[in-house]
Structure 1
Amino acid sequence: MKHGALAILPLAAGAAVYGFAFGLLAAQVGFPWWGVALMSGSIHAGSSQIVAVEQFAGTSAALGAALAGAALNLRYIGIVASLSEVLSGLSLRMKLLTIHITGDENWALTMAERAKNQEIGAGFLIGSGLVMITVWTVSTTLGAVTGSALPNLEQFGLGFAFTAAFIAMARGLWRGYANLIPWTVSFAVTIGAVSLDAPKAYAIVVGAVCGLVISHLITNRTRCTL
């Protein structure tokens, strides 16, 4: 666990920056600091949290926010499936805890380290995951506390912080040019749906589903040609 906790620190530092930005803007749109803390600790999914806060702030569309968050987190089905060997031997309770604290950063780091050394396993994943969820929860809460004490940040041109934080998270998900076509399709479909006056949350869902379909088709085609 100690190895994973130390190895993830550089990535945790980056997460703290956009976590603070998220908390700052969440407070500005009316979320209490304790609500941000509870969300970060229980959901632990930055992209979904940003979408949810934007939706609640703009339209209070709870169903749309939930669907958009679920669509953004569909990738975790594959992530959890890839951890079956790493999690083998753990009790059901520990498996559920480990899955909850697993995010893009510590999953990617664990798999990269495991490719070099097969002895890297659940301890590394848990240690790095505990650091990430702690840093994320603390940084978003500090941002929310700070944001609630500041005047309207739009006056200072900081209304872009949601977008900037989301872009930073998306950059961390980039796995190379194999993502280019699915991401482009998702982006185009989402923009098209919004331009047709569809609610943003539902536009995100449609775009995400289309991107997943294209990704699945590309993967199947690649396997067939091998």
Structure 2
Amino acid sequence: MSISQAAASEAVHGRSGSEFRRGVMSCLPVLLGTVPYALVLGAQARQKGLSALELPMMTGLNFAGGSEFAAIQLWTSPPHIVLIVAITLLVNSRHLLMGAALAPFLRHLPRRKAFAALFFMCDESWALGLADARRRAGANVTPAFSLAYYMGAALAMYVAWVAFTTAGALLGPLLGNVEPYGFDMAFPAVFLVLMAGMWRGVAAARPWLVSLVVAALVYLLVPGAWYVAAGAVSGLASAWLMAGDA
């Protein structure tokens, strides 16, 4: 490798490291908000009989908090595997829409990097990565999607989620029932913060309202987790129908 090539490689790695740190730092406020309900999930899982080894395997391989909470609520001894798998697929169906929204920004990446990025995608890292890509696109920065920034946020969330759910499982017997402390309120609070960061005006937020109303009605009227898919599909359909009005 020539001196010029070495210098260019060092500059690229320097930028990647800086972008990675930027992703970690931007994720910290949201990450701190996930700690309480990670502890809640770990404590609930331990109460249902999962060991401190089984829980990090679940959270590390699935990495989707909503479906993990649903699975723990449905957990029995012996567990109803088919029901838990079905509900997990249903709750995680929102990732299809999330991946579709992120896909246009991933086209410049090799498939192996794009698939790795999508494996670590969660609601928080997706929202941060998408918002950052849109800002960079608006500023004519190429490429708009910073993989290093996204992976900094995604890996920080991944490590924290697995670590603190495991901590919740270990501390569960000492903490007892943690729900009266209000830790579970951190879950909706984090999503409200993410929505605020993605706010682009009332007109752009109309599909959010449609999704909210449909999901709430289905939650009240239909048993099970169908409200997740109903809210996602209705939001997508309304966004498509209202696109001409924007």
TM-score of the two chains, using structure 2 as the length reference: 0.74
Taking structure 1 as reference, are residues 135 and 96 closer, same or farther at Cα in structure 2, changes over 3 Å only?
A: same
Which residue of 134, 138, 147 corresponds with 1:122?
147
- What is the alpha-carbon distance in structure 2 between the residues aligned to residue 223 and residue 101 of structure 1? 30
- What is the alpha-carbon distance in structure 2 between the residues aligned to residue 169 and residue 37 of structure 1? 22
Root mean square deviation, CA, Å: 2.8
Tell me which residue corresponds to 1:74: 93
Contact 2:33/2:186 (<8 A) preserved: no
Q: How many residues align?
A: 213
Runs of 5+ consecutive residues of structure 1 not aligned to the other structure: 195-202
* 1:216 to partner: Cα distance: 3.6
Taking structure 1 as reference, are residues 89 and 37 closer, same or farther at Cα in structure 2, changes over 3 Å only?
A: same
Which residue of 224, 231, 234 corresponds with 1:211?
231
Taking structure 1 as reference, are residues 90 and 209 closer, same or farther at Cα in structure 2, changes over 3 Å only?
A: closer
Cα shift readout 1:165-192 (whole Å, capped 9, x = no counterpart): 6544654564655322322222222222
TM-score of the two chains, using structure 1 as the length reference: 0.80
36-45 or 12-21, which deviates more: 12-21
Runs of 4+ displaced beyond 6 Å: none
Identity of aligned residues (%): 22
- What is the alpha-carbon distance in structure 2 between the residues aligned to residue 172 and residue 28 of structure 1? 30
- What is the alpha-carbon distance in structure 1 between the residues aligned to residue 73 and residue 96 of structure 2? 25
Which residue of 218, 230, 242 corresponds with 1:189?
218
43-52 or 89-98, which deviates more: 89-98
- What is the alpha-carbon distance in structure 2 between the residues aligned to residue 36 and residue 121 of structure 1? 32
Which residue of 119, 139, 148 corresponds with 1:100?
119
Taking structure 1 as reference, are residues 104 and 185 closer, same or farther at Cα in structure 2, changes over 3 Å only?
A: same
SS in 2 for 1:217: helix
Runs of 5+ consecutive residues of structure 2 not aligned to the other structure: 1-19, 199-204
Tell me which residue corresponds to 2:56: 37
SS in 2 for 1:32: coil
